[in-house]
Structure 1
Amino acid sequence: MIVKTRAVVLREIRYRDQSKICSLYSRDFGKISVIVKGARNPKNKLSGLFNAGNVIDLVLYRKNNRELHLASDGNLVLSPMVPEPDLLRFAVLYRIIDLVRLTTENDEKNLPLFSLLTGTLEQLYRKDQHFELLYAWFLLRFVSLLGFQPSLRQCVLTGEDIPRAIEAGKVSGLYFVMNPGGFALPWAAATSPVIKHLLPLRSTMLLCTLETSPVHDLETIRAEHDDVEHLWNLLQDYCSRHLEHTGGRKNLAIVSQISRK
């Protein structure tokens, strides 16, 4: 059956002399694998199209119960090479697409996840974007979409209202509890055996801001690099505890090193 869909290229592997096998996250079918014949031949019309991070419209021959489909045509929608290559952009990009590739199942359509992924990449490929903050924003929404949304408004241990406690000046920081996920007030978490991390109030407020901010408002948020990096590590740890095959922390460390240069 010949079908058209939009997809993000998650991974590309060389196949034989001039072809590629690619992992895609598609709008209509979720994660799929395709073979692109001749894609490594510079004279082929598909050369350069099926590169990791590209968002493409494609035509493919799809057969049910097959693990590998044939891509026959396509057009570029978005590329990380536009407006210009950027090392930090690529570091964040590969962290995002690796996370999607490693934690999603084949042939499971998830339109909200596809929209999150393409919307995030659209912002990532803009000039002068705050790549680190965008990555933290993506992690929070990604893990929430997959069913593990952390509670940031009520204490996960007592149910008490957290904004009210902050406004009353009762806390200078909050604990983030890994399971169940979310904030816990200090007096509730202090004696609890749950796995938890203490966050300064500034970091907790930033996380709450990210939860309520649409992606196009991120450029208006002013945040210290240390706070953003703190949230990376926290959310990455949270993802790794709730999602299978999230990979190691090597890529995250690379992002951190690049952003400090």
Structure 2
Amino acid sequence: MIVKTRAVILRETKYRDQSKICSVYTREFGKISVIIKGARNPKNKLSGLFSAGNVVDLVLYKKNSRDIQLVSDGNLILSPMVPAPDLDRFAILYRIIDLVKHTAERDEKNLSLFTLLAGTLEELYHDGINFQELYAWFLLRFISLLGFQPSLRFCVFSGKELLPAIDSMKLTELYFVMNPGGLALPGAAGENLAKKHLIPLRLAMLLSALAAKRTPSGDSIKADPDDIDILWNILQEYCALHLEHARPGKNLAIVSQILLK
């Protein structure tokens, strides 16, 4: 049957003389493989559409019995080449799409994940974006979608609401605990053997501010670049730990390399 869907190109592979096979993440079908005949011929109207990171509208000849679906038409919606190529943008782009490529299940629709992926790329392709902040925001939303949303309002050990406790105890630091995930009061953490990082209060507040944002726009959160970098590393470690449990059948070595490189 002929179907239409929006898709993010995750990977492109040359096939025979002029064609391509691509791994794409679609709104309606999740992650699938498609073939685009003649896509490497400059005269083909689909030439240039199927590059990693592009967001496209596709028309497919789809058969459930077929592992690779045939693309009959397509239109470009978003591209990392617009407004202009940027090495920092591409570095973040490839981290994002590689993470989705290696963790998403094949033929498993997940509209929330598609919306997050496409929305993040739309932000990434704008001018004036803080790429590191956007990536930290993406990691937080991504791991939360998989069921590992860190607790940022209540202490993960005592259950106490954090803001009143911080005020009454005059705290300047909190723990970020890897498992169970979230923030913890220093007294409640005690001698608990769970892996944790002691972080300044401003970093905990930055994490909460990121979690509250629907999408960060430009430098929407004023933060020290070093703080964003620390937060980025903590979230990458957190994601790597929980993906190990969430995706036991996946190539975890590759996922860890993506997250921790």
TM over 0.5: yes
Structure 2 match to 1:56: 56
Structure 1 match to 2:183: 183
Structure 1 match to 2:21: 21
Contact 1:135 1:232 in 2 (8 A): yes
Question: Is residue 2:154 matched to residue 1:166?
Answer: no
Identity within the alignment, % = 64
The alignment's TM-score, normalised by the length of structure 1, stands at 0.93
What is the letter of the counterpart of residue 247 of structure 1?
V
Aligned residues: 253
Q: In 2 relative to 1, CA 128–177 (structure 1 residues): closer, same or farther, beyond 3 Å?
A: same
User: 1:184-205: CA deviations, max 9, x gaps?
Assistant: 1111223101111121111111
Structure 1 match to 2:117: 117
Task: Quote how far apart the aligned CAs of 1:219 are.
Answer: 2.9
SS at match of 1:240: helix
User: 1:80-125: CA deviations, max 9, x gaps?
Assistant: 0001111100000000011111111011111111111111111100
What is the letter of the counterpart of residue 35 of structure 1?
I
Q: In 2 relative to 1, CA 189–251 (structure 1 residues): closer, same or farther, beyond 3 Å?
A: closer
> For structure 1, which runs of at least 5 residues remain unmatched after alignment?
254-261
Contact 2:98 2:258 in 1 (8 A): no
What is the letter of the counterpart of residue 23 of structure 1?
S
1:176-215, aligned counterparts within 5 Å?
A: 176-215=176-215
Output the CA distance in 2 between the equivalents of 1:17 and 1:163: 62
Structure 2 match to 1:258: none
Task: Quote how far apart the aligned CAs of 1:21 are.
Answer: 1.1
Task: Quote how far apart the aligned CAs of 1:232 are.
Answer: 1.0
Structure 2 match to 1:145: 145
The alignment's TM-score, normalised by the length of structure 2, stands at 0.93
Contact 2:53 2:93 in 1 (8 A): yes
1:91-102, aligned counterparts within 5 Å?
A: 91-102=91-102
Contact 1:91 1:251 in 2 (8 A): no
RMSD: 1.5
> For structure 2, which runs of at least 5 residues remain unmatched after alignment?
none
Output the CA distance in 2 between the equivalents of 1:27 and 1:141: 18
User: 1:149-206: CA deviations, max 9, x gaps?
Assistant: 1100111111011111222243211111111111111112231011111211111110
Structure 1 match to 2:255: 247
Structure 2 match to 1:89: 89
Output the CA distance in 1 between the equivalents of 2:86 and 2:201: 32
Output the CA distance in 1 between the equivalents of 2:236 and 2:101: 15
User: 1:106-147: CA deviations, max 9, x gaps?
Assistant: 111111111111111111000111111010011100110111
SS at match of 1:8: strand
Structure 2 match to 1:257: none
What is the letter of the counterpart of residue 85 of structure 2?
P
Question: Is residue 2:164 matched to residue 1:156?
Answer: no
Task: Quote how far apart the aligned CAs of 1:44 are.
Answer: 1.2
Structure 2 match to 1:74: 74
Contact 1:133 1:218 in 2 (8 A): no
SS at match of 1:147: coil
Task: Quote how far apart the aligned CAs of 1:250 are.
Answer: 5.8
Contact 1:24 1:34 in 2 (8 A): yes
**Which is further off, 236-245 or 128-137?**
236-245
Contact 1:151 1:183 in 2 (8 A): yes
Q: In 2 relative to 1, CA 98–140 (structure 1 residues): closer, same or farther, beyond 3 Å?
A: same
Output the CA distance in 2 between the equivalents of 1:251 and 1:143: 12
Contact 1:173 1:200 in 2 (8 A): yes
Contact 2:24 2:31 in 1 (8 A): yes
Output the CA distance in 2 between the equivalents of 1:247 and 1:116: 19
SS at match of 1:223: coil
